[in-house]
Amino acid sequence: MADHITITQSDANWTVRAGGAVLGETTNALILQEGDYPEVVYFPRGDIAMAFLDSTDKTTHCPHKGDARYFSVVTKSRTLENAVWSYEDPHEAVAAIKDHLAFYPIEEITVEQI
């Protein structure tokens, strides 16, 4: 793993909400800490209501994790563009985040321990 990235299994229950709807709850979240960046909670894809997510054309590249693809969250009142990302084929050093989703910490999305 890159020296500045750690991934740990969370021992907490986590939830993610958008537009008042619960998108997912999990007891199997991963916490990724990369350097001085705030930690990121990664939810197993199987614990997220994928019907609320639409795949987009956006991709980005991280030299330490690989290529990320993005999803928009569709709520009752609006679409939150590119608010979710996933590393479909991450580098071997961070393989644990494969099949997991992370959510941008924006006003309309809440990720919290429950």
pLDDT reading at 19 higher than 90 = no
**According to CATH, what is the number of the domain 5-113?**
2.170.150.40
pLDDT reading at 1 higher than 80 = no
pLDDT reading at 18 higher than 70 = yes
DSSP 46: G
Distance in angstroms (rounded) separating the CA atoms of residues 55 and 81 = 10
pLDDT reading at 3 higher than 90 = no
Q: Which residues pair with 31 in a beta bridge?
A: 8, 41
Distance in angstroms (rounded) separating the CA atoms of residues 107 and 37 = 19
What percentage of the chain has pLDDT greater than the value 90?
Answer: 91
What percentage of the chain has pLDDT greater than the value 70?
Answer: 98
pLDDT reading at 102 higher than 60 = yes
Distance in angstroms (rounded) separating the CA atoms of residues 28 and 4 = 23
pLDDT tens track for 48-89:
999 999 999 999 999 999 999 999 999 988 999 999 999 999
Helix (H, G, I), strand (E, B) or coil at 50: helix
Confidence bin at 20 (pLDDT 50/70/90): confident
- Reported pTM: 0.94
